[in-house]
Chains A and B, each alone.
Chain A
Amino acid sequence: MHYLLQQIVNGLQLGLIYALIALGYTMVYGIIKLINFAHGDVFMVGAFLGYYGFAVYHLPFYLAVVIAMIGCAILGVTIEFLAYRPLRYAPRIAALITAIGVSLFLEYFSSLKFAFGPDYRTVPRPFTEIHWQIAGTTITNTQVIVAVVVVVLLAFLQFLIYHTKVGKAMRAVSFDHDAARLMGINVNTVISATFGLGSALAAAGGTLYAVAYPQIWPFMGIMPGLKAFTAAVLGGIGNIPGAVLGSLLMGQIEVLTAGFISSNFRDVIAFSVLILVLLVRPAGLLGQAGPEKV
C-alpha cells in the first residue's frame, strides 16, 4: 500500500511537469491547428535559462523561473512571427515541416559552443534537500515545490482564459478566425499571445524538470516533448483540461508500469493505452467540438 502510494506520488510529479508542456501543444493546436514540434525544444531552452538564473547567476529560484518564462515567451513569439506567420494560409503540411525544422534548429544551435554547448550539465539543487516521511511514503521538498508551482500556474491560466479580455479573444479566435476578425479582434496579436503563453508554461516546466531530474543538455526536450504531445492527444488535443488529465494519466501509467510490471514495458504500455483510447474515442478523452476549445 505504501509502495503504491509512493509510486503515485512519483507519477504525480512526472505528470504535472508533462502537463505544463502539454498545455503549450494543445493551446497552439486549438488556435491555429498546428502541431508545434519545436515546443519540446522551447522547454529545453527554458530549462537552460532557469539553470543559468539560479545556478550560474545565483538569483532567487522563483525569480529565475519568471525570467525563464519571459525569455521563452519572447522566443515563442519570435518563432511564430518568423517561421509560422508567413505560412498561416499555406497547406498545413508546410507549417508542420517548418515546425520540425525549427525544432532541429533550436537543438543544434543550442549545441554550438557559444550557445549552451553540447555537453551534459549537472544542475545543483536550488534548495537544501528535505525528506518527509508521511504514511510510510517519502516526499521531498522538490516534489512539493513542483506541485505548488504547477498548480499556481494552472490556476493562473484558468483565470486568464475565462476571466480576461485576452482569454476571451483567444477563445473567439480558436472558434473562428474570420468571425473573430470581423468582431474587431486582432487575430495576429492573439496568436502571438497564445505562443507566448504556451512557451512561458514550457519554460516553467523546463526549470522544474531541471530541478527534479538534475541534468540538462540541448537534446533533453525531445522525449518529454513527445510524451507531453502524446498526453495532449490522449486528453483530446485542443482541450485544456484534457491536456492536464492526459498528462496526469501518462505520468501514472509510466510509473505504475515500471513499478508493478517491468521497466522494460513502460513506454510500450503507455503508448498502447494511447492507441486504445483513440480507438474508442478518436477525439481523445475530453476532446469534442465545443466552446471550451482554446
Chain B
Amino acid sequence: MSKRFWLVIGLAALVVMLAVAGCGQQQAANQKVIKIGLIAPLTGDVKTFGESTKNAVELALEQAGYKAGDYTIQLIEQDDANDPTQATNVATKLITQDGVKAIIGSVTSKTTIPISEVAQANKVVEITSTATNPKVTVDNGQRKDYVFRACFIDPFQGKVAAKFALDQLHAKTASVIYDKGNDYTVGLAQYFMDTFKAGGGQILTEDTYTVNDTDFSAILAKVAKAKPDILYLPDYYQKVSLIGQQARDAGIKAIFMGGDGWDSSDLNYAVMAGGYFTNHYSPEDTRPEVQKWVQDYKAKYGSTPDALATLAYDATNLLLNAIKTANSDDPTAIRDALAATKDFPAVSGKITFDQDGNPIKPAVILKVTYDPQTKQGGTQFVASVAP
C-alpha cells in the first residue's frame, strides 16, 4: 500500500468524523440553546482586565454547568482590544451574525458606551462587569433599559476617594492628571475634584494628556513645584505606572491615589507603593461568598482573583439568574427579570438595581504594598465605605 492510500483513508475518516460531529451539533440545536456574547479586551493596554474577566465568566458558567433554567448556554468570546471602534464592530457581529440574546461586557467605559448603544438599538440585554461611567446605562437623561452593570459608578468612586483623602489622610491639597479623551478618567477626576473642593481641600493643578502620550515631564514639573499632598491619577494601571515612575523621577513626594483601573498584577508596585485606590472588593473580606469565590478561583487559575474577575463573576451570575427566572430566551423577558433582581447574594455585595440599572453597594479602599526584599507587590485592605 502506498502512503498516499493511507492519506486518502485518513482524510475520508476525518471527513466522516466531522460530518458526524456536525450532526451532533445539529441535534443539540434542537434543544433549547441560548447564545451569550462576551466582549473583553484580551489584547492591548488593559489585557489583564480582559484575561481576568474571561477567566471569571468561564468559571461562573462552568459552575452552572452551562445551564440556566431549561436553556443550555453557548458562549461566544470576542476581543475589543480596548478600542471603541473594534468594540462596536464585534458587538454588531455578535448580535447580527451570531444571534446572541445577551452580552457580557465590556470592561472599560470607553468601549462599553458604544456597545451599549448597539445593544439598546438591537434590543439585546447587556450587562457590563466593570464599566463605571454613568453614561453606560443613561444617555442624556434617557435610560438605556436593556443595559445593566455589576459595579458602582464613577461619581461614587470619585467621592469616596476625595473623602478618604480629606478625612483619613488629612490632605489639604491635591493635583489631578487625567486622560481627556477617556470617559472613565474624566468622570473620576471631575467627581474627585468637586468633592475635594466641597470638603475644604484645594486643587493646586489640573492637567490632561491624551492616550498616546508618554512624556509627562512638563506636567509633572508643574506638580513638583506646587507640592500637593495628593496626586490623583485616575487611569488604568499601565499609564499610571508610567506617570508614577516619571513623577518619582521629578522628585514628587505626594501620595498617589486612583480608582479601580489600578487593580492589576501588571501595576508597577515598586513605584506605586504607598498609594491608595478605590475598588469593588477585597479578597481579605471574611464573608463566606468572598472566601468561597477566592478559593474556587485559586483552585482553577492559581492566583487570587482581582476585582475585574470578581465583578465579571457577579455579572455572569446575575445574567444566569435572570435567564433562569425568566426561563426564556427573549431578551425583553430577561431584561425584566434582571431589573427585578433583589438582594442577589453576589461576591461584591448584595445586589439590587436602582432605576438606572446600577447596583447599590459599598466600595473598598486598598493600599498598594511592595516588599523590596522579595520584589513582591500586593494590596492591603484599608477601609470599606457604604454609599
Report how far A198 CA is from B249 CA in the complex, Å. Answer: 31
Q: How far is the CA of A14 from the CA of B216 in the complex (A)?
A: 10
Given contacts A131-B249, A258-B207, A263-B207, contact A215 B218 (CB under 8 A): no
Q: Mark A98-137, 1 if CB is under 8 A from B, else 0.
A: 0000000000000100000011101000000101000000
Check if B217 sits within 8 Å of A119, measured CB to CB: no
Enumerate A32-63 residues with CB–CB distance to B below 8 Å: none
Report chain A residues within 8 Å CB of B221: 3, 6-7, 10, 259
Count of residues in B whose CB is under 8 Å from the partner chain: 30
Which B residues lie within 8 Å of A122 (CB)? 238, 241-242, 266, 268
**A residues near B250, Cβ cutoff 8 Å:** 138
Is A25 in the interface zone, CB < 8 Å from B?
Answer: no
Whether A14 pairs with B249 at a CB distance below 8 angstroms is no
B367 proximity list for chain A (CB < 8 A): none
In contact, A263 and B241 (Cβ under 8 angstroms): no
The listed residue (B43, B208, B225, B242) touching A214 by CB distance below 8 A is: B242
Partner pick for B45 among A13, A214, A217, CB 8 A cutoff: A217
User: At the interface, yes or no: A140 with Cβ under 8 Å from chain B?
Assistant: yes
B314 nearest CB across to chain A (Å): 26
Q: How far is the CA of A146 from the CA of B207 in the complex (A)?
A: 26
Complex Cα–Cα for A263 and B178 (A): 11
Known: A14-B215, A213-B242, A263-B207. A129 touches B249 (CB 8 A): yes
B218 engages A255 (CB within 8 Å): yes
Interface assignment of B138: CB less than 8 Å from any CB of chain A: no
Question: Looking at B180, B212, B214, which has the most chain A CB atoms within 10 Å of its CB?
Answer: B214
Determine which of B180, B222, B238 lies in contact with A120 in the assembled complex, contact meaning CB atoms within 8 Å: B238
> A223 at the A/B interface (Cβ < 8 Å)?
yes
> 1/0 per residue B270-305: CB within 8 Å of A?
000000000000000000000000000000000000
Most buried by A among B212, B221, B224, B245: B221
Which single residue of chain A is at the shortest CB-CB distance from B211?
A: A223
Nearest residue (CB) in B for A11 is B218
B residues engaging A (CB < 8 A)?
43-45, 47, 81, 180, 207-209, 212-215, 217-219, 221-222, 224-225, 238, 241-242, 245-246, 249-251, 266, 268
Residues of A within 8 A of B (CB): 3, 6-7, 10-11, 13-14, 111, 118-120, 122, 129, 131, 138, 140, 142, 209, 212-215, 217, 219-220, 222-223, 254-259, 262-264, 266
The contact sample of 24 A-B pairs, CB cut-off 8 A, is A3-B222, A6-B221, A7-B218, A10-B217, A11-B218, A14-B217, A118-B47, A119-B45, A119-B47, A120-B238, A122-B266, A138-B251, A213-B214, A213-B242, A213-B246, A215-B241, A220-B214, A222-B212, A255-B217, A256-B218, A258-B207, A259-B219, A263-B208, A266-B218
